Structure 1
Amino acid sequence: MKAAVLYQPGGAENFVLENRPIPTPNADQVLVRVKAFGLNRSELMTRKGLSPNVGLPRVLGIECVVELDPAGKLKPGQKVAAFMGGMGRDFDGSYAEYAVLPQSLLYPFESHLSWEQLGAIPEMFQTVYGSLHLALKIKPDETLLIRGGTSSIGMLATQLAKRSGLTVLATTRKPDKRELLSGNGADHLLIDDGSLAEKVRAIYPDGVEKVLELVGASTLRDSLHCTAPGGTVCMTGMLSEQWSVADFAPMEYIPATVHLTIYDSGQIRVDQQSFQQFIRDVEAGAIRLSISKSFRLSEIVEAHQFMESNSAGGKLVVLTGN
């Protein structure tokens, strides 16, 4: 099988596309045939050597959609999604034609969507649904600030929040992406220069009720100050590639009565029924997948370079077939 292997951290050119034997599963694992996978910023950080405790060489990839190998433990041809749970970090992940995965990670599903569309869904859906409903516990008529609105997570979060009856403020650093945000349903568009609190309070003097922080530690303090008393900030993304907050002093950093939480799909997973229903909603046209571009496995270097350029206005997907 072909696999993209990272032997040393650094630039995208460090990926080596090589032939490897198809792995053999043990009693708790399943051999799957990878059909497509989405790219994630966490993989970019791992490639750069910024993810702690990841040993190399490693096949990266924290998510995939697959077709079960006929020798597998579920019925041949069953479509399955897998994500997180140590994929691409503790053990080899989805940047390959085959993978051996713990059976506990597999989400069987039914769908007639293309592999490109399906490849965009697993981690994106889990992260958005979990952030909005499990961490932020959104309610109709609330106000939600999405910081990092043109990311794939931000684009889907806007749609799901609007479907739940919220008013959405979405941000971008690039004025030429205003139309992308408005076409995706955002009610208010903000240009993010690193300081949003004054702009947000010009619209909502008391602040917004909920904030989905996708930029990360570099803007977290400002996002907290965009939030109304009793409101909640969920830090989900790290687009800034910054893991920690230096000299964190909670009493000074967090405004009184404002709540701070995170969402991590590796810790808390969305139920399989909600995952299947989301796929049905996409099939029915109720939700639009924002797919920026697709690549082949042989183009993994170019795919990572494109992700790092911040040119995408949606999810990047890699297909393993011809």
Structure 2
Amino acid sequence: MRAITIPEPGGPEALVWADVPDPQPAEGEVLIEVAASAVNRADLLQRQGFYDPPPGSSPYPGLECSGRISALGPGVHGWAVGDEVCALLAGGGYAEKVAVPAGQVLPVPSGVDLVTAAALPEVTCTVWSNVFMIAHLRPGETLLVHGGASGIGTMAIQLAKAVGARVAVTAGGPEKLARCAELGADILIDYREQDFVQEIRKATDGTGADVILDIIGAKYLQRNVKALAVSGRLAIIGLQGGVKAELNLAALMAKRAAITGAGLRARPLNEKAAIVAAVREHVWPLIANGQVRPIVDRLLPMADAAEAHRVVDASAHVGKVVLTV
């Protein structure tokens, strides 16, 4: 088969479409003939040499895919050869074939085509696990989403609105904010021109956000705590603004607030399977009835993964960039 390889870490040009050995499904795994994958910021970090795959995982980038099951490993039940699926991966999505634990496989939702389904696993699993399973966003609460026009952001807006929450977003510029508004965002904050702490307080009569979904990390830590409501929950899922910050713990304690940090890639298989099962139970019906939809900015051939990385690197997209085989 062919796959995107990274012979040496570097810029987008480090991604090389090359012949590699076919994967074989192990115990409890299925083999997927890939139709499409999608780009995540973790892929950019892996390309640069900063985010190695977990031990035993595929060395190729790609944390999600869609396609058809072409083989079943021993002990797999509930799936059949030919099933159209999408899957959450620890790696290997930028390839023509990938082996994946059966617990991380999802059927393609009703009303979604096979290629577009590649844009769903990572964002739905990330948002559902962090915003709902960990931060417990409830109807009537306010969610602040940093990077509202990103793949994660566009999904977070829709899921929060679907459960009856109020949604605030930060994004760069009026065009991206307009797209967020189309998806249901109630409070629009241009981080280039406005202070999100002031804006969220103004929009909530001084209360603040009950839950904040943060992709920035260190740069926003102190301001995020200021923006939280009493008993607020800050869920950190990205580190685009650095990894180290100073925090006034008294301010955190005064708000009886909680800070969590979580990723998906290195989690144990049983935890990933539980998240995928929860997404299938709670999110897939919302997609089937049209309340939630995948947002795809553009499709590019997988051999042009370098161009896709340039687009994501420049934040020149809304939603997901999908790679097709």
| TM-score using structure 1 length | 0.87
Deviations 1:169-217 (A, max 9, x none): 1111223323112112111111114842222222231322221112333
List runs of 5+ in structure 2 lacking aligned partners. none
Q: Which residue of 1 aligns with 2:20?
A: 20
What amino acid is the match of 1:36? A
What amino acid is the match of 1:12? P
In the alignment, structure 1 residue 229 sits paired with structure 2 residue 227: no
Deviations 1:266-308 (A, max 9, x none): 4344242642653343243222321111111111111111111
Aligned counterparts, 1:232-271, within 5 A: 232-238=233-239, 240=240, 242=242, 244-246=243-245, 248-249=246-247, 251=249, 254=252, 256=254, 257-266=256-265, 267=267, 268-269=271-272, 270-271=275-276
Work out the percentage of aligned pairs sharing the same amino acid: 27
> 2-side partners of 1:301 and 1:177: how far apart?
23
> 2-side partners of 1:271 and 1:101: how far apart?
13
Q: Verify the 8 A CA contact 1:115 1:319 in the aligned structure 2.
A: no
Structure-2 change in CA distance of 1:35 and 1:253 (3 Å):
farther
Q: Which residue of 1 aligns with 2:61?
A: 60
Structure-2 change in CA distance of 1:245 and 1:26 (3 Å):
same
Shift of 1:4: 0.7
SS for the counterpart of 2:80 is coil
Structure-2 change in CA distance of 1:36 and 1:279 (3 Å):
farther
Structure-2 change in CA distance of 1:172 and 1:249 (3 Å):
closer
> 1-side partners of 2:278 and 2:207: how far apart?
37
Q: Which residue of 1 aligns with 2:299?
A: 294
> 1-side partners of 2:9 and 2:127: how far apart?
29
What amino acid is the match of 1:290? I
Shift of 1:147: 1.4
SS for the counterpart of 2:138 is coil
What amino acid is the match of 1:237? G
Q: Which moved more, 1:134-143 or 1:185-194?
A: 185-194
SS for the counterpart of 1:200 is helix
SS for the counterpart of 2:66 is strand
Q: Which residue of 2 aligns with 1:200?
A: 200
Q: Which moved more, 1:97-106 or 1:266-275?
A: 266-275
Q: Which moved more, 1:209-218 or 1:7-16?
A: 209-218
What amino acid is the match of 1:16? V
Q: Verify the 8 A CA contact 2:2 2:17 in the aligned structure 1.
A: yes
Shift of 1:249: 5.0
Shift of 1:80: 3.0
Structure-2 change in CA distance of 1:263 and 1:298 (3 Å):
same
> 2-side partners of 1:308 and 1:127: how far apart?
20
Q: Verify the 8 A CA contact 1:216 1:237 in the aligned structure 2.
A: yes
Shift of 1:109: 5.4
Structure-2 change in CA distance of 1:57 and 1:290 (3 Å):
closer
In the alignment, structure 1 residue 40 sits paired with structure 2 residue 40: yes
Shift of 1:255: 5.2
Q: Verify the 8 A CA contact 2:25 2:71 in the aligned structure 1.
A: no
What amino acid is the match of 2:261? I
Q: Which residue of 2 aligns with 1:97?
A: 96
Deviations 1:92-147 (A, max 9, x none): x1111012233443345564521222111111111111122112101111112111
Structure-2 change in CA distance of 1:37 and 1:241 (3 Å):
farther
Shift of 1:236: 1.9
What amino acid is the match of 1:291? V
| TM-score using structure 2 length | 0.86
SS for the counterpart of 2:99 is strand
Q: Verify the 8 A CA contact 1:135 1:263 in the aligned structure 2.
A: no
Shift of 1:254: 3.5
What amino acid is the match of 1:223? N
Structure-2 change in CA distance of 1:319 and 1:53 (3 Å):
closer
Structure-2 change in CA distance of 1:293 and 1:105 (3 Å):
same
> 2-side partners of 1:23 and 1:241: how far apart?
36
> 2-side partners of 1:17 and 1:258: how far apart?
47
List runs of 5+ in structure 1 lacking aligned partners. none
What amino acid is the match of 1:13? E
SS for the counterpart of 1:265 is coil
Aligned counterparts, 1:122-271, within 5 A: 122-193=121-192, 195-204=195-204, 205-238=206-239, 240=240, 242=242, 244-246=243-245, 248-249=246-247, 251=249, 254=252, 256=254, 257-266=256-265, 267=267, 268-269=271-272, 270-271=275-276
User: How many residues are aligned here?
Assistant: 311
SS for the counterpart of 2:115 is helix
What amino acid is the match of 1:292? D
Q: Verify the 8 A CA contact 1:130 1:263 in the aligned structure 2.
A: no
Q: Verify the 8 A CA contact 2:66 2:117 in the aligned structure 1.
A: yes
> 1-side partners of 2:310 and 2:251: how far apart?
35
